């Protein structure tokens, strides 16, 4: 899997959760906690030797929460200078 293919999986996971409110309303602390939870899900999926497609999806969840944290942090940073 390359970066583009992984980004597609990340977007699929975002799209599947589009019914939820956006991450811009979440605190960094909450997102960090969710990142830890998702890391645990990825670890358990690996330990269970799940199919690579499932590992891709779990890894995409981790990456998505990291992206959300970066996005909100940058927005908070930019807002403090406004």
Structural domains counted in the chain: 1
Residue 41 has pLDDT above 80, yes or no: yes
pLDDT for the residue 47: 98
Summarize pLDDT for 67-77 with one digit per residue, the tens: 999 999 999 89
What's CA 82's distance to the chain center, in Å?
28
The HSE-up count of residue 27 (CA atoms within 13 Å, CB side) is: 3
Domain that holds residue 65: 3-14+22-81
Summarize pLDDT for 18-38 with one digit per residue, the tens: 888 889 999 999 999 999 999
Residue 20's alpha-carbon distances to 16, 44, 79, 81, in angstroms, are: 9, 25, 24, 29
């Amino acid at each position: 899997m390359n970066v583009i293919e992984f980004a597609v999986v990340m977007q699929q996971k975002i799209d599947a959760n589009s019914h939820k409110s956006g991450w811009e309303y979440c605190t960094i602390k909450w997102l960090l906690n969710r990142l830890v939870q998702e890391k645990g899900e990825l670890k358990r999926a690996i330990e269970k030797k799940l199919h690579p497609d499932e590992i891709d999806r779990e890894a995409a969840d981790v990456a998505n929460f990291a992206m959300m944290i970066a996005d909100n942090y940058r927005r908070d940073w930019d807002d403090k200078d406004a």
